[in-house]
Amino acid sequence: METLNTSCLKEGNEIYIEDNINRFYTLLNRHKIKIKNKIFLITDDVIYNIYKDLIYELQSKTECKVYYFAHGENNKNINTVQSIYNFLIENNANRSSTLIALGGGVVGDLVGFVASTYMRGIKFINVPTTLLSQVDSCIGGKVGYDYNGIKNVIGSFYNPVFVYICTRFLKTLEEKQFKDGLGEVVKYGMIKDIQLLDFIDKNYKYILEKKNDKLFYIVKECLNIKLEIVEKDFNDSDLRNILNFGHTVGHGIEVSSNFTISHGEAVALGMLAAVKLSEKKLSLNSEVYMKLEALLEKLELPTRYKVDNYSTFLYAINHDKKNTDKIRFVLLEDISKCKIKVEVTAEEIYSAVEGSISRG
């Protein structure tokens, strides 16, 4: 088991990465999580059904109570938050209680938000089960939910006591869900580490086959990149903006598709549009687009998408929490060299989308 230490996590300061779930219980003792103060595991129905045996084992060892809600981004809303509050109140959760978030990014974001607000803040542990959540959303402190079709517009910054990453969870992911996480992996290479891109390019077949050593490497590298960025800008006022490369158009695609396009797929498409914008706004070499497109195709991620509803698409972009009165993008001057808060017009977005993902 490897441990990553970071000053951006106020409590615990530890992220654990391994491929054996059985050592999770020793960490509860190490972090002084007491059974008598009540432990509550929150997950979604898909994860609950996949990991019933694991959850039953946890219950037998910790006497934790379990609650699950319907899977999917469409359920990342105030109704689900309220249902978790009700569950905690009905089961007498108190300020000494601990929540365990078992699942992907939706579960982690929702449970983290509930933990940050229930009785003005209680402990929670994040156990991400998807590649997307393991390489990205499980750290950094951003928690929240979607509201009125706007992603993550309600939220706060709140850290778990610790994050427990077991790459063995990735073996049970469906192919589409696994590939979804690869969109964020490529993003990290584009914004910060060309060597990671080269590793993916050379090992993409083994990655798609879920070879454990390759998965361990990409998870650890992505986390190290994110930790370096978050430690310098925890409250997301400047440098941390680079983590949103590909996300502005990506959010527009997610919302306008009614979430039939997953987050990682949308980020992959959004990166292509952002690179095309970078060619126009920052004179980025056109070879970067070809390199990115070829890599996404190797990973079997989408490189084409037709935006059918531009009003919904632009509404989501205009209401992105990073924007104020103007639309701002993270663009590239080169691979691993980002420029944040670049002002872009709706016409330029349309042109970039039509010249990249919507062409042909």
Which among 19-23, 92-96, 137-141, 224-228 has the top mean pLDDT? 92-96
DSSP 186-236: HHHHHHH-HHHHHHHHHHHHHHHTT-HHHHHHHHHHHHHHHHHHHHH-TT-
Long-range contacts of 228-235 (CB under 8 A, 24+ apart): 228/192, 229/192, 230/6, 230/8, 230/139, 230/140, 230/141, 231/6, 231/7, 231/8, 234/8, 234/140, 234/141, 234/157, 235/157
| Closest by Cα among 296, 241, 257, 240 to 273 | 296
Query: Rounded CA gap, 250 and 313, in Å?
Result: 10
| Closest by Cα among 43, 203, 229 to 136 | 229
For the chain, the helix, strand and coil percentages under 3-state DSSP, each to the nearest 5 = 55, 20, 30
What is the pLDDT, as a whole number, of residue 13?
65
Contacts of 290 (CB under 8 A, 6+ apart): none
What is the pLDDT, as a whole number, of residue 66?
97
Give the mean model confidence (pLDDT) for residues 76-92: 97
What is the pLDDT, as a whole number, of residue 39?
95
Q: H helices of 91-153, where?
A: 105-117, 131-132
Phi, psi angle pair for 197, to nearest 5°: -60, -45
Q: Calculate what percentage of the chain has a pLDDT beyond 90.
A: 69
Q: Answer yes or no: is pLDDT of 357 > 70.
A: yes
Binding residues for Zn(2+): 184, 247, 263
Query: Rounded CA gap, 6 and 197, in Å?
Result: 24
What is the pLDDT, as a whole number, of residue 35?
78
Binding residues for NAD(+): 105-109, 129-130, 142, 151, 169-172
The secondary structure of residue 307, as a DSSP letter, is -
pLDDT confidence of 41, banded at 50, 70, 90?
Answer: very high
What is the pLDDT, as a whole number, of residue 25?
83
Mode of pairing for the β-strands spanning 328-334 and 337-343: antiparallel
Q: Cβ(181)–Cβ(131) under 8 Å?
A: yes
Binding residues: 105-109, 129-130, 142, 151, 169-172, 184, 247, 263
At 276-292, the pLDDT tens digits run 999 999 999 999 999 99
What is the pLDDT, as a whole number, of residue 320?
67
At 303-346, the pLDDT tens digits run 999 988 888 899 888 876 555 568 999 999 999 999 999 999 99
Q: Answer yes or no: is pLDDT of 227 > 80.
A: yes
Give the mean model confidence (pLDDT) for residues 25-30: 85
| Closest by Cα among 253, 336, 262 to 292 | 336
What is the pLDDT, as a whole number, of residue 1?
75
| Closest by Cα among 166, 167, 265 to 214 | 167
Q: Answer yes or no: is pLDDT of 249 > 70.
A: yes
Residue ranges of domains in the chain, CATH in brackets:
2-172 (3.40.50.1970), 175-354 (1.20.1090.10)
- Comparing 1-15, 188-202, 311-325, which segment has the lowest mean pLDDT? 1-15
Amino acid of residue 116:
S
pLDDT confidence of 9, banded at 50, 70, 90?
Answer: low
Give the mean model confidence (pLDDT) for residues 77-84: 97
Collapse the DSSP code of 320 into the 3-class scheme (helix H, G, I; strand E, B; otherwise coil) and give the result.
coil
Query: Rounded CA gap, 85 and 117, in Å?
Result: 10
Give the mean model confidence (pLDDT) for residues 70-83: 95
Q: H helices of 19-104, where?
A: 24-30, 45-50, 52-62, 78-90
At 111-151, the pLDDT tens digits run 999 999 999 999 999 999 999 999 988 888 899 999 987 88
Q: Cβ(31)–Cβ(162) under 8 Å?
A: yes
Please tell me the pTM assigned to this model. 0.88
What six digits make up the tokens of 295?
A: 């890599």
pLDDT confidence of 63, banded at 50, 70, 90?
Answer: confident
